[in-house]
Amino acid sequence: MEGPTTESPKLSDGALPQSPSFELWIAFAVSTIPHAIGLFVGGYGQIITNAPLAVIVTIVDLAAVVIASLQFREDSRARRSSHWVVWATIAVGTIWLVYAVFVGLVIVLGQIFCVSKLCRPPLY
């Protein structure tokens, strides 16, 4: 007569965060690019004043945040916790995106409401 078998409690495969994919590591590295450029050239202002560079950096950073967000969504649907790289990519990427959107809105609204001397006629 056998007694009840007790199995040791095992964690299910979905309980632990799996090692992130190479795409997520690349997204994390890409999301640090604006911060590294800002560190080496003297701040975010140096990036923003170079419009083509700012647009390229913003688009690439947005792609990195989207990749991390998709991984977060997949982890949520699978009911597993996300790897720290997912959270770090979203946090680091969002810092640049918030700055770029804010400065972009200031520039666009400045042109719309004509707050600079360039779009107003001179006062006599």
pLDDT value of residue 18:
67
16 located within any domain: no
Q: How many CB atoms lie within 10 A of CB 86?
A: 23
Range of the domain at 50: 22-112
- pTM summary value: 0.73
Question: Tell me, what's the pLDDT at 69?
Answer: 93
**CA distance linking residue 7 with residue 101, whole number of Å:** 54
Task: Provide the pLDDT for residue 73.
Answer: 93
Q: Tens place of pLDDT for every residue, the chain, 124 residues? A: 555 555 544 445 555 546 778 889 999 999 999 999 989 988 888 888 888 888 999 999 999 999 999 999 998 998 888 889 999 999 999 999 999 999 989 888 888 888 777 777 777 7
Judged by DSSP in three states, 14 sits in coil
Task: Report the C-alpha gap between 91 and 76 in whole angstroms.
Answer: 17
Residue 8 is predicted with a pLDDT of 46
Residue 4 lies in a domain: no
What is the pLDDT at residue 7?
A: 52
In angstroms, the CA 100 to CA 102 distance is: 5
Asked whether residue 88 is domain-assigned, the answer is yes
How many domains is the chain partitioned into structurally?
Answer: 1
Give the sign of the dihedral formed by CA 98, CA 87, CA 65, CA 42.
Answer: positive
**Which pLDDT score, from 0 to 100, does residue 115 have?**
76
Secondary structure, 3-state, 90-104: HHHHHHHHHHHHHHH
| Residue 10 within any structural domain of the chain | no
The two structure tokens encoding residue 42: 């003297």
Is there a contact between 87 and 93 (Cβ–Cβ < 8 Å)?
A: no
Q: Is residue 3 part of a domain?
A: no
Residue 121, φ and ψ in degrees, nearest 5: -70, 155
